[in-house]
Amino acid sequence: MARIRFENITKKFGKTVALKDVSFDVDDGEFFVLLGPSGAGKTTTLKLLAGLYKPTEGNIFINDKNVSEDPPYNRNVAMTFESYALYPHLTVFENIASPLKAPGRNIPSKEVKERVERVARMLKIDQLLDRKPAEASGGQKQRIALARTMVREPDIYLLDEPLSHLDAKIRYELRQEFHRLEALKGVTTVYVTHDYVEALSLGDRILMLDHGEVQQIGKPREIYEDPANIRVAKQVGQPDINIVECVTRVEGEKIVLMPKNEPTINIEISDEAQAAFRNNTYPEVLLGIRPQFIKVGEIPGSQIFDGRVDVYQVLGSEGVLNVEIGDLNLIALTSPEDRYTHGEEIKVYFLKDRFYFFSPENGERIRFS
């Protein structure tokens, strides 16, 4: 049973600031995901929690005990590294058992055997116990590394990009496995990934990091549907959200958005946005439109644009359409059964009540309530 609290943590390596004033809490038994691009500070956060690094400023608490200066062996945490870090000269059994045989741990051989075999069965690698890691596949090696973490039965699991080196099919299978593992349920887990699909699939809550700073903390649906800023919006979603630089202008009784690089187009906005733009001064905005909210066709009451197909690809369960509207090039999602050819003329409309608006100065979300 463990609760975690990061309190105003800053970590510097010389003049480089890896984390800046990071604060968050992880509840007992929560599956907490650290999401962000490469270099965001995710692994640094995990190593601080593990005790491999000490904070430059701030404090780390586990169950209300300040462990900022405590060595790793006093924290009862277990960490799986991005690289499998398996001992090539040891068998799979010996690799998994190694944390139980560390100095200072006097666990009877019978119990070691029982715990190794139990976790190996759970992860479906019990048939590999007498082999060397070189005889295992990539997915099996990841399970071996995870088993070595789980066999300790720690208070906290720390999982650093555990699926990053695996192909898409095995990543999918292991994500399903994480949902099934009883050993991960009820044990506080901090999971690091750059893959938003993993984050949305696994996390009870997600902390979005970028440039060493907290961008947003929330449940998966909140992070996706209600991004705090443009960095979060771009990190979560594939294909990327469309971002259009716009100026606002009054046209009759309405306020419309005019794309900077396509001044012949006026984009209508929702009534809610109309009211907000009248009450505040937003001379320029960044308009965000997720690809699934750009539709091909015509619907009564919608603003219809003349578009031209640039590129169309069918990617599994969806079609990805690059459409040109004047000088704008936007990405839309379509049914995989649709077919479009380069240069084809089409009609396009936007779901304007699903627009996002961001400040061009700092990228923060412009909210209307």
* Model confidence, pTM: 0.85
Is residue 357 scored above 90 in pLDDT?
yes
Least confident segment among 28-37, 137-146, 257-266, 345-354:
137-146
For residue 195, report the phi and psi dihedrals to the nearest 5 degrees.
-95, 110
- Both tokens of 15, joined, read 């003049």
**How does the average pLDDT of the chain come out, rounded?**
89
CATH topology for 242-358 is OB fold (Dihydrolipoamide Acetyltransferase, E2P) (2.40.50)
Is residue 168 scored above 90 in pLDDT?
no
At 206-255, the pLDDT tens digits run 999 999 999 999 999 999 999 999 999 999 988 999 999 999 988 878 88
Query: What letter represents residue 327's amino acid?
Result: D
Q: For position 179, what pLDDT does the model report?
A: 63
- For the segment 251-262, the average pLDDT, to the nearest whole number, is 88
Q: For position 287, what pLDDT does the model report?
A: 97
Q: Which residues have CB under 8 Å from 288's CB, separation 6+?
A: 230, 233, 241, 242, 243, 244, 355, 356, 357, 358
At 310-346, the pLDDT tens digits run 999 998 889 999 999 999 999 999 998 999 999 999 9
- Looking at per-residue pLDDT, the higher value among 73 and 47 belongs to 47
Cis check: omega of the bond before 291, within 30 degrees of 0: no
Q: For position 122, what pLDDT does the model report?
A: 79
Distances (CA, A) of 316 to 56, 198, 271: 47, 18, 36
pLDDT bin (cut points 50, 70, 90) of residue 118 is confident
- Rounded Cα distance between 57 and 22, Å, is 10
Yes or no: say if 116 and 97 are a contact pair by the CB < 8 Å rule: yes
pLDDT bin (cut points 50, 70, 90) of residue 148 is confident
Q: For position 166, what pLDDT does the model report?
A: 62
Q: For position 278, what pLDDT does the model report?
A: 79
Is residue 275 scored above 80 in pLDDT?
yes
At 278-290, the pLDDT tens digits run 777 788 999 999 9
The structural domains of the chain, with segments of one domain joined by +, span: 4-229, 242-358
4-229 has CATH 3.40.50.300 classification: yes
Return contacts of 144-148, CB within 8 angstroms, 24+ apart: 144/84, 144/86, 144/92, 144/95, 144/96, 145/80, 145/81, 145/84, 145/85, 145/86, 146/80, 147/96, 147/116, 147/119, 147/120, 147/122, 147/123, 148/80, 148/86, 148/95, 148/96, 148/98, 148/99
- For the segment 51-68, the average pLDDT, to the nearest whole number, is 96
